């Protein structure tokens, strides 16, 4: 199965274009309004009986049919919009024998049910216990060894050992998930003093990247088991963990990041600028914080193959433990990692433009849809400024004509 | 072992919706799946908040009016039948309408019914006429803060003046239809549903 997946990897990543429910017309507000009014008034000019003063088609004033454009766009977005579907697992074209991916498929045949039953037995009876053992081994080794290394004095030996230990433990964890990873372009791997950015689909992303190279992680300190792992990791090599209260302070965050980056002996920082997990069909807005720091950025694109197991963590539906169990009871986690050539901010480019440029490169490589929407929309409301932009645009069309009127 | 979403939609329901709205079987199941994904509370009905969670709709200047069109008078929940009935207005008009055996006599996506949908966007209090005040409110939604009250007022006055034929300073549905008689309503108020 592993070899088969590896061979197929190279053909897999065309974007999954499941048949949409509707075909959207990509016209703009101005084009539409011009069209409606041209149709409405050109026949007016042909006929002689016209009660109005016959406004010219291009500079019309308010027409009651202006609402049609907004109306249609609104209904189109109710039927199919670009954002809400990014926060639930991707729909598959054909079923992969996992109940969790079974959205619209009815009971098809008894044979399929039998196959599914067999799959359940294999996955839960055989694969899951095996993987759990591996995972627990991996994590415990990580905690124990990093604590031990923490006692050594800082120096080359410590760094060397820390690297070896981290890599080994992450690789065990990777086996524990049966993650089959193909790394492309390893010559572009992030170097010290740089920042590695990647699209975010699940917490597993970290393990996948870290099993191929050493990074300094960034994140919030959690309690419990996670916290224990974090504290022991930091003993072996510097990671950047924040207290919950410090997370809100953007300047503090930026300062710690840039301090770390300036020290060339420290490992490259791993950051997920989307800020939240997206379902791996698209890349959403990158938060500009990491792009303001001014060091080299190493973009990485991660694309999972959903046929073997869905890696997306829907945090509103599943907690972490539930999620890990689901991961370990899938067939496998198959993914591709592309290391893209390093990018730096160019002259005259601000942080937001730089972030968008990096995002576009990652989306292009991974075959993902490049969206401008903020991943924060998963939980929060959209800002009013977008609505105001549309209102402004429409007002310009109306008011622009008033000026013409006063001129004639 | 059936699927989760469509097992709640029975074949009889699908047939009834097909007769009422003219959507095909596969379109109905796809739209049911969409309905289900919007229904965060999983109670078989959508509330206004469920609609407002769609960012592209939330930034639409007429978003609230469109959402309102789904909810019958005084109700806060819309079930799948109601959802489909409203969406049916936006089906493209075909030449050979097979489902002419409607109670009302006209398919939901006829020109008249499409116009009626648009009329209801303006008619805030559902009294079958558009008053100056209602027109002003809808205009204000579309332009935001970018146009002054006076200018907006004169636009509203001019519009009513041009449309109002019986002198009651309001626009009735027939006056509305007359104003828009040359507009290609069938095309502008239709969405291309794929099979």
Residue B62 distance to chain A (closest CA, Å): 6
What integer pLDDT is reported at residue A135 of this predicted model?
Answer: 85
Closest CA to A75 of A30, A22, A20: A22
Q: What is the pLDDT of residue B78?
A: 92
- Tell me the three state secondary structure of residue A336: strand
Spell out which residues of chain B touch residue A406, defining contact as CB-CB under 8 Å. Answer: none
Query: Taking CB atoms and an 8 Å limit, are A391 and B61 in contact across chains?
Result: yes
Is residue B97 domain-resident?
Answer: no
Q: Is residue B19 part of a domain?
A: yes
Whether residue A96 has pLDDT greater than 80: no
On whether both B21 and B47 belong to a single domain, the answer is: yes
pLDDT of A97: 67
Residues B31 and B73 in one domain: yes
- Residues of B within 8 A of A88 (CB-CB) are 37
* A-contacting residues in B 102-131 (Cβ below 8 Å): 117-118, 121-122
Name the strand (E) or helix (H) holding A170. Answer: helix A156-176
Q: With bands split at pLDDT 50, 70 and 90, how would you rate the model's confidence at A214?
A: confident
**For position A18, what pLDDT does the model report?**
47
Domain check: are B84 and B111 in the same one? no
Residues B134 and B75 both lie in one domain = no
Are B174 and B128 part of one and the same domain? Answer: yes
Q: Give the residue from B42, B57, B89 where a domain finishes.
A: B89
Lowest-pLDDT range, A316-320, B119-123, B159-163, B187-191? A316-320
Q: Full-prediction pTM beyond 0.95? A: no
In a domain, B31, yes or no: yes
| Residue reference for tokens 């000026």 | A403
Contacts 24+ apart (CB under 8 A), A32-35: A32/A68, A32/A69, A32/B188, A33/A60, A33/A63, A33/A66, A33/A69, A33/A397, A34/A58
Distance from CA of A68 to the nearest CA of B (A): 6
pLDDT of residue A213: 84
- Contact: A19, B194; criterion CB under 8 Å: yes
Domain boundary among B34, B63, B89: B89
A312: pLDDT strictly greater than 50: yes
The verdict on B139 and B77 lying in the same domain is no
Q: Is the pLDDT of residue A6 over 50?
A: no
Whether residue B76 is found in the same domain as residue B120: no
Residue B153 pLDDT > 60? yes
Contact A289, A182 (CB under 8 A): no
Give pLDDT tens digits for A52-88. 444 443 344 788 888 888 998 899 999 988 888 888 7
Final residue of a structural domain among B39, B60, B89: B89
Residue B36 pLDDT > 60: yes
- Angstrom CA distances, B57 to A388, A397, B12, B51, stand at 13, 21, 32, 8
Q: Is residue B195 part of a domain?
A: no
Spell out the SS3 assignment of A264-313.
CCCCCEEECCCCCCCCCCEECCCCHHHHCCCCCEEEEEEEEECCCCCCCC
Is the pLDDT confidence value at A132 over 60? yes
Query: Is the pLDDT reported for residue A7 higher than 50?
Result: no
For residue B64, pLDDT over 50 is answered with: yes
Mean pLDDT of B104-109: 74
SS3 A8: helix
For residues B125 and B82, membership in a common domain is answered with no
**CA of B63: which chain A residue's CA is closest?**
A74
Looking at the partner chain, which of A51, A83, A402 has a beta carbon nearest the beta carbon of B151?
Answer: A402
Let me know if residue B35 belongs to a domain. yes
Domain-located, residue B96: no
Residue B166 lies in domain: 107-188
Residue scoring higher pLDDT (A116 or B85): B85
Q: Does the structure show a pLDDT above 50 at A299?
A: yes
Question: For the domain that residue B161 is a member of, what is the CATH number?
Answer: 1.10.238.10
B111 and B85 in a common domain: no
B:48-107 residues touching chain A, CB 8 A cutoff: 51-63, 66, 87, 90
**Nearest-CA distance from A98 to chain B in Å?**
12
pLDDT over threshold 60, residue A51: no
Same domain, B62 and B126: no
Q: In chain A, what residues touch B143 (CB-CB under 8 Å)?
A: 391, 394-395, 398
The whole-number pLDDT of residue B84 equals 92
Predicted pLDDT at A12: 36
Helices (H) and strands (E) in chain B, counts: 11, 5
- Indicate if B135 and B178 belong to the same structural domain: yes
- Integer Cα distance of A252 and A272 in angstroms: 18
Q: How far is B105 from chain A (nearest CA, A)?
A: 25
Give A72 or A22, the one with higher predicted confidence. Answer: A72
Q: How many domains does chain B have?
A: 2
- Are the beta carbons of B158 and A377 separated by less than 8 Å? no
To the nearest whole angstrom, how far is the Cα of B57 from the nearest Cα of chain A? Answer: 5
The pLDDT assigned to A300 comes to 92
> Is residue B52 domain-resident?
yes
Residues B67 and B124 in one domain: no
**Mutation for B interface: A64, A100, A101, most B CBs within 10 A:** A64
Q: Residue B119 — pLDDT band, cuts 50, 70, 90? A: very high
User: Would the CB atoms of A105 and B37 count as touching at under 8 Å?
Assistant: no
Lowest-confidence range among A8-17, A51-60, A66-75, B93-102? Answer: A8-17
Check CB contact under 8 Å for B146 and A391: yes
Q: Mean pLDDT throughout A250-272?
A: 83
Residue B102 counted as domain residue: no
Mean pLDDT for all residues in chain A: 77
């Amino acid at each position: 199965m592993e070899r088969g997946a590896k061979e197929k990897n190279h053909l897999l990543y065309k974007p999954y274009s499941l048949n949409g429910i509707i075909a959207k017309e990509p016209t703009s507000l101005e084009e539409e309004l011009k069209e409606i009014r041209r149709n409405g008034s050109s026949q007016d000019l042909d006929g002689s009986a016209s009660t109005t003063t016959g406004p010219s088609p291009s500079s019309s004033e308010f027409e009651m049919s202006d609402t049609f454009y907004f109306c249609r766009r609104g209904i189109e977005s109710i039927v199919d919009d670009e954002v809400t579907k990014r926060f639930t697992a991707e729909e598959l074209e054909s079923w992969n024998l996992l109940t969790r991916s079974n959205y619209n498929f009815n009971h098809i045949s008894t044979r399929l049910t039998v196959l599914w039953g067999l799959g359940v037995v294999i996955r839960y009876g055989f694969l899951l216990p095996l993987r759990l053992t591996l995972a627990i081994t991996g994590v415990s080794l990580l905690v124990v060894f990093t604590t031990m290394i923490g006692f050594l004095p800082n120096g080359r030996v410590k760094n060397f050992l820390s690297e070896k230990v981290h890599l080994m433990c992450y690789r065990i964890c990777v086996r524990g998930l049966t993650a089959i990873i193909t790394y492309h372009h390893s010559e572009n791997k992030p170097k010290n003093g740089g920042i590695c950015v990647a699209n975010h689909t699940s917490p597993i992303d970290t393990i996948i990247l870290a099993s191929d190279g050493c990074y300094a992680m960034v994140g919030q300190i959690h309690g419990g088991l996670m916290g224990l792992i974090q504290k022991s990791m930091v003993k072996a090599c510097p990671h950047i963990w924040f207290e919950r209260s410090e997370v809100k302070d953007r300047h503090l965050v930026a300062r710690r990041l840039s301090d770390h980056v300036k020290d060339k002996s420290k490992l490259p920082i791993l950051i997920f600028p989307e800020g939240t997990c997206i379902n791996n069909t698209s890349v959403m807005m990158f938060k500009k914080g990491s792009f303001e720091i001014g060091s080299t950025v190493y973009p990485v694109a991660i694309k999972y193959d959903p046929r073997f197991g869905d890696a997306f963590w829907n945090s509103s539906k599943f907690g972490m433990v539930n999620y890990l169990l689901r991961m370990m009871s899938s067939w496998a986690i198959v993914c591709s990692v592309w290391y893209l050539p390093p990018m730096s901010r160019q002259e005259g480019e601000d942080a937001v433009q730089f972030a968008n440029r990096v995002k576009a490169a990652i989306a292009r490589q991974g075959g993902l849809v490049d969206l401008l929407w903020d991943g924060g929309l998963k939980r929060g409301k959209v800002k009013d400024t977008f609505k105001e932009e549309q209102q402004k645009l429409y007002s310009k069309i109306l008011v622009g004509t008033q000026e013409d009127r006063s001129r004639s | 072992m059936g699927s989760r979403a469509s097992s709640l939609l029975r074949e009889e329901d699908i047939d009834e919706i097909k007769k009422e709205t003219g959507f095909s079987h596969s379109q109905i199941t796809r739209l049911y799946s969409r309905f289900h994904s919007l229904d965060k509370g999983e109670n078989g009905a959508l509330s206004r908040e469920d609609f407002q969670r769609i960012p592209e709709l939330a930034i639409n200047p007429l978003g609230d009016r469109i959402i309102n069109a789904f909810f019958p008078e005084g109700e806060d929940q819309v079930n799948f039948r109601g959802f489909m009935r409203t969406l049916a207005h936006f089906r493209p008009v075909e030449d050979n309408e097979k489902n002419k055996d409607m109670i009302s006599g006209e398919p939901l996506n006829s020109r008249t019914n499409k116009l009626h949908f648009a009329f209801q966007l303006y008619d805030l209090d559902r009294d079958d006429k558009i008053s100056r005040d209602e027109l002003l409110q809808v205009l204000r939604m579309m332009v935001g803060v970018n146009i002054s009250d006076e200018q907006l007022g004169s636009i509203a006055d001019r519009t009513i003046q041009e449309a109002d034929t019986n002198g009651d300073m309001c626009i009735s549905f027939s006056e509305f239809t007359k104003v828009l008689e040359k507009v290609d309503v069938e095309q502008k108020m239709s969405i291309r549903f794929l099979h």
